[in-house]
């Protein structure tokens, strides 16, 4: 096994059990292939961890294990995936949802590995050279929890930073249908695991959709922005909304949203769709004097690096400012950021600035985050990426 020596003092993050080492922290290193398992040593030669090497990414090393006696092989991945499943069993008290995240990358000790379960089908994303190298071992370890098979959706942007091509297709199991049906919070959905965003559905918002359903005022007029396939809109209707306008720039997503509405017995009068740029749509509503009882803002990632955080903050502020102007007195706002570079404190300041400019007395009722099947390791704060605020315009 090859050795990688860190520069003096650069072992501190590993001693805190953070799983990343950036290229600038690497000192002397034996040549290793992308994804190859290496020993990570201090500048004095003390063992720190076993990790996978990347020669292309700014993150040069990702930790597999802090145990020097560990062997990174099929048995290792089976142990880690078994442990991840046992944790979800504890989280849900043995009553697992039909669709849930089984493996959450670094937070489950498997950097670059995402595995979501949809009614017995595992959909995986392998975003690093190390994960890519162990594709077959990972697929085999998932089979006990995925009787319908394993499908790969490794077509994420992160692979470009690892100099990896996109990879999609079936890895294990029976011939699969085009989409997988599943239930969530009493609603029926379809996972487009072949072409949908992420692994086909936004599982991280499950509990927040339940909160929206519980907090929707009776007979409310609701605006659901960046609706994707309509999850929050359906939750609002289930909670008693009169109508929901669902806005997204993707015709394909809106077509699936309409399918979801029909599956759950909601009419076109109740579940309306608009294909538009959300910012432009909000401005057109403002100019037309429209207003709503509740608005949901669930935009895509505005910033994936700290360097882009300032620009992202301006985008979030403009978005929330427009929404607050459209809320009726007593109206409810559910607003989210999935940008890892936006921490909770900054997101809160952005919302406060938007309320100030909107001349709105906005009260924060509840802070929201990703679901419990996306548990963030205390040693890896980057795992906490989804921030949400539920507030009321007084």
Q: How confident is the model at residue 307 (pLDDT cuts 50, 70, 90)?
A: low
Residue 257 lies in a domain: yes
Is 338 among the residues known to form the active site?
yes
DSSP for 38-80? EEEE-TT--EEEEEEE-SSSSEEEEEEES-TT---SHHHHHHH
Check whether residue 378 and residue 325 sit in a common domain. yes
Strands 99-104 vs 59-65: parallel, antiparallel or unpaired: unpaired
* CATH number of domain containing 353: 3.40.50.150
Check whether residue 259 and residue 353 sit in a common domain. yes
Check whether residue 111 and residue 176 sit in a common domain. yes
End-of-domain residue from the set 65, 97, 119: 65
d(CA 85, CA 142): 10
Predicted pLDDT at 301: 84
Q: Give how many domains the chain has, as a whole number.
A: 3
Q: How confident is the model at residue 308 (pLDDT cuts 50, 70, 90)?
A: confident
Check whether residue 134 and residue 7 sit in a common domain. no
pLDDT tens per residue across span 320-366: 999 999 999 999 999 999 988 788 999 999 999 999 999 999 999 99
Q: How confident is the model at residue 51 (pLDDT cuts 50, 70, 90)?
A: very high
Residue 186 lies in a domain: no
DSSP 169: E
Of 225, 227, 285, 338, catalytic: 338
Q: Are 198 and 124 in contact (CB under 8 A)?
A: no
Instruction: Give the strand order in the sheet containing 26-29.
Output: 20-22, 59-65, 47-53, 37-41, 2-6, 26-29
Residue 162 lies in a domain: yes
* Average pLDDT of the residues in 190-216: 96
d(CA 216, CA 54): 47
Q: In which domain, by residue range, is 371 found?
A: 202-393
H-assigned helices in the chain: 12-15, 74-91, 129-133, 135-142, 158-161, 206-215, 231-238, 251-263, 278-287, 309-326, 344-357
**How many beta carbons lie within 10 A of that of residue 298, not counting itself?**
23
Query: pTM here?
Result: 0.94
Residue 175 lies in a domain: yes
CA distances (Å), origin 186, targets 132, 176, 182, 205, 210:
36, 24, 10, 15, 10
End-of-domain residue from the set 16, 37, 65: 65
């Amino acid at each position: 096994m090859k050795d990688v020596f860190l520069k003096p003092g650069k072992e501190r993050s590993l001693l805190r059990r953070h799983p990343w080492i950036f290229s600038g922290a690497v000192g002397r290193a034996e040549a290793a292939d992308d994804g190859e398992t290496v020993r990570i040593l201090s500048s004095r030669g003390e063992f720190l961890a076993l990790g996978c090497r990347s020669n292309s990414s700014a993150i040069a090393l990702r930790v597999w294990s802090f145990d020097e006696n560990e062997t990174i092989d099929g048995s290792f991945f089976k142990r880690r995936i078994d442990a991840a499943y046992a944790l979800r069993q504890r989280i849900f008290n043995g009553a697992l949802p039909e669709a849930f995240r089984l493996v959450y990358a670094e937070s489950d000790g498997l950097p670059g590995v995402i595995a979501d379960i949809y009614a017995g089908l595992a959909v995986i994303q392998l975003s690093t050279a190390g994960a890519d190298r162990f594709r077959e071992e990972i697929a085999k370890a998932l089979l006990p929890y995925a009787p319908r098979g394993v499908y790969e959706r490794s077509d994420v942007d992160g692979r470009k930073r690892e100099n990896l091509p996109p990879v999609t297709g079936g890895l294990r199991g029976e011939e699969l249908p085009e989409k997988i049906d599943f239930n969530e919070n009493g609603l029926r959905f379809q996972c487009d695991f072949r072409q949908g965003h992420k692994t086909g559905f936004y599982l991280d918002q499950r509990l927040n959709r339940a909160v929206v359903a519980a907090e929707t005022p009776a007979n409310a007029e609701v605006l659901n922005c960046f609706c994707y396939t309509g999850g929050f809109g359906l939750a609002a209707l289930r909670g008693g909304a009169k109508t929901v306008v669902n806005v997204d720039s993707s015709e394909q997503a809106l077509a699936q949203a309409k399918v979801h509405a029909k599956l759950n017995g909601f009419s076109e009068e109740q579940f309306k769709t608009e294909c538009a740029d959300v910012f432009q749509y909000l401005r057109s509503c403002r100019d037309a004097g429209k207003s709503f009882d509740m608005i949901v803002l669930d935009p895509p990632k505005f910033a994936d690096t700290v360097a882009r955080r300032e620009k992202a903050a301006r985008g979030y502020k403009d978005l929330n400012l427009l929404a607050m102007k459209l809320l009726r007195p007593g109206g409810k706002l559910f607003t989210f950021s999935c940008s890892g570079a936006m921490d909770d404190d900054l997101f809160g300041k952005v919302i406060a600035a938007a309320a100030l400019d909107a001349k709105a007395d906005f009260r924060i009722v509840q802070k929201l985050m990703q679901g419990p099947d996306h548990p963030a390791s205390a040693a890896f704060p980057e795992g906490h990426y989804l921030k949400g605020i539920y507030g009321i315009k007084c």
